[in-house]
Structure 1
């Protein structure tokens, strides 16, 4: 085995360890907040760490960064979570409505509701990345997530494909979900969003320079 193979194997092993570690932190800190209050600050903390890795800050103290973010964003992230849960509840009501109303009269309404649900879900995928990447006001997080989602269909496709792939892998090998389910999903979403953010920032700079 040559030096390049050894370096490549070491890099892969290092990333596997990182992803497993941050996934366990995510589970642990979600439980620390009794699940419902811990999930959103734990998820924001995980996206914060993964974003730093993606921009090249791979030597950060992971636990310290995670814990600091968790404490700092606990209240604000749970405020975000309340709105997310409200939207999720609305989606569930829409699905129940469509299940119980299958007549041709409501077929157009069904199409509109499916579009609404798809738009909401895709916007939710962008919420955490926008939260950790941009320093914007609370409600601007939702507006920016929606607008960036609209203009980046390729990133949307990458996220959907990646999440579906993770779902089938975890379904086939359930043990993988415990160590990597959340972190790999977050990595896929954050990576796709980061590319989208760079494109948006470049377009903004170009328009400002004209």
Structure 2
């Protein structure tokens, strides 16, 4: 029994490594900037089939087929994310380097806004993949999730930071597992929260 479980775990490890390589490869295929978001959304879609339906057969052909379908939508979604983060980052840089009393007083509010934005962005791709909603509905729902589940969101952000640190210390982990494991944790967290909401709505 233990041997079978170990074999199953090793199979999952190999599949996650393979998915991570596909994610990195198709990110480079889109010249990085334009490939990152389609590759990320495609990975989320495949992980959704694994978490929700138990499907684990991920092929390069399936990845490429899905990649093409979500290319424009995912880049549109990603551009909005970058615009939001970019504007907050620029504002934070301005208030951080300025010695004006007004700007100094704005440092903490802008920092909190950045943390809140990151909390919201954690749910943007899972919601888009899970429901296929409009851009406005996706970001609105993501904001609601971040506000409704601050503890769970903080845990996910902490895990993502931990994974980034591990990847920095061990580049091989970055190559084979950082992306796929991060996306799995984010999506798994969202699915569990969605199940919790569905149960509460049925009571």
Structure 1 length as normaliser, TM-score? Answer: 0.89
Q: Which residue of 2 aligns with 1:184?
A: 181
How many Å apart are 1:111 and its aligned residue? Answer: 2.0
Q: Which residue of 2 aligns with 1:52?
A: 49
Residue 137 of structure 2 is aligned to residue 140 of structure 1: yes
How many equivalent residue pairs?
A: 203
Q: Which residue of 2 aligns with 1:11?
A: 8
Give ranges in structure 2 of 5+ residues lacking alignment.
none
Residue 164 of structure 2 is aligned to residue 175 of structure 1: no
| Post-superposition CA distance 1:27-70 (Å, at most 9, x none) | 11111111111111110000111111111422444434422221
SS of the equivalent of 1:38 reads helix
Q: Which residue of 1 aligns with 2:191?
A: 194
Structural RMSD (CA) = 1.7
How many Å apart are 1:118 and its aligned residue? Answer: 0.8
Structure 2 length as normaliser, TM-score? Answer: 0.92
Give ranges in structure 1 of 5+ residues lacking alignment.
none
Q: Which residue of 2 aligns with 1:29?
A: 26
**Distance between the aligned counterparts of 2:126 and 2:180, measured in 1?**
13
| 8 Å Cα contact 2:44/2:187 also seen in 1 | yes
| Post-superposition CA distance 1:64-118 (Å, at most 9, x none) | 4422221111111111111111112112212212321355544442221112111
How many Å apart are 1:198 and its aligned residue? Answer: 1.4
Residue 95 of structure 2 is aligned to residue 109 of structure 1: no
